[in-house]
Amino acid sequence: MSSRKAPAYRQAGVDLAAAEEVVRRLKPLAAKTATPGVASHLGGFGGCFAFPDPRGKDLLVASIDGVGTKMKVTRLTGAWRSAGYDIVAHCVDDILTQGARPLFFLDYIGTSRLEVAEVEELALGMVEACREAECALLGGETAEMPGVYLAGETDLVGCIIGTVSRDRLLPGDRVGPGDRLIGLASLGLHTNGYSLARRILIDEGLGIDGLLAPAGPTIGEALAARHRMYWAGVRDLLDQPELHAMAHITGGGIPGNLVRVLPAGCQARVETGQWEIPPLFREIESRGGVARGEMFSVFNMGIGWILVVAAGVAERWAERLAAAGWGGWLIGEVAPGGGGVQLVP
């Protein structure tokens, strides 16, 4: 293990506090543009817009996101198709948290120099994910901009539109004390925390071809693992009244994302001993000397999705999800309190 002090995410080039401040400042600016159809506020997993009738029950849900510095791993491993899948999965998961069913997806690929075979592989991954999510790849933009993007760099961004009925919108007002939390397994880092992970495991660690364990996989294979799409696992639950909320565990980890679905007067208690933290996260933590609290604020730690459900169905639903290969761990509950997420061993 490294003898130096634990690296902060900021030292790896990412300032979470600055990101939070940007959102805080943008919220009042966005509010100035509100039209009658706006049905949400800035800062949720997706934005909601009532269409065609501003007072009607039909809502469009939109989200935009990027694969981020995971694209550096893609360049090293050649896993272009997986990166294409990643961007669709991330966007689908974001709007799925609000109960939305995806309609269509658009992409943006920016690069210093177009490599046709790489773009085709990205597109094949997007097509695979769109078919899995039952949505259309409607179009996109491919931009070749030398001088803007560094040589060899590629940026991948996606925008998705879905739909949900206003009375099915999550989390609504359903979440309350006594609700149980079901955690679903991630497949790796998904698309968050790569600046820190790359520094520890590649730049200063075992390298892209180093083995994570004696029998594999390599560091490159582990970091290139796909962002899991949870659509197939939860779509049949969307119309169940016992489903109260869902959280996509992305940047900010469990504390920074589960809090987004908690109403005033509630806090979540997450029991971190209820699932086994995967080897990839343990390697980052030990090799980099990263504090456990920081690990949970940067990475998903093996939980990519959390369902907030009525206590009466929690065990049955968890068992069903576990049998289907989704993890399905009972990891805590909602309690009265002043907000926030409490992590307990």
Compute the CA torsion angle 163, 167, 172, 173 (nearest 10 deg).
180
Q: Which of 128, 147, 168 is the last residue of a domain?
A: 168
Say yes or no: 162 and 186 in one domain: no
- Please give the Cα distance from 247 to 251 (Å, whole number): 12
DSSP letter at 338 equals S
- SS3 assignment, position 140: strand
Where is the domain boundary, 116, 140, 168? 168
Same domain, 129 and 213: no
Q: Is 215 helix (H, G, I), strand (E, B) or coil?
A: coil
Q: Do 305 and 213 belong together in one domain?
A: yes
In this structure, what token pair is assigned to residue 253?
A: 């980890």
Q: Of 142, 168, 194, which marks where a domain is finished?
A: 168
Side-chain-facing half-sphere of 219: CA atoms under 13 Å: 22
**CA nearest to 59, candidates 190, 220, 167, 211:** 167
Are 208 and 164 within one domain?
Answer: no
List the CATH number of the domain containing 124: 3.30.1330.10
Domain count, the chain: 2
Using a cut of 0.85, tell me whether the model's pTM lies above it. Answer: yes
Quote the domain boundaries for residue 111: 45-168
Quick one: 197 and 329 in the same domain? yes
Write out the chain's pLDDT in tens, 345 residues.
Answer: 333 444 446 565 567 678 778 888 988 898 899 999 999 876 678 999 999 999 999 999 999 999 999 999 999 999 999 999 999 999 999 999 999 999 999 999 999 999 999 999 999 999 999 999 999 999 999 999 999 999 999 999 999 999 999 999 999 889 999 999 999 999 999 999 999 999 999 999 989 999 998 888 999 999 999 999 999 999 999 999 999 999 999 999 999 999 999 999 999 999 999 999 999 999 999 999 999 999 999 999 999 999 999 999 999 999 999 999 999 999 999 999 988 999 999
Q: Do residues 203 and 161 share a domain?
A: no
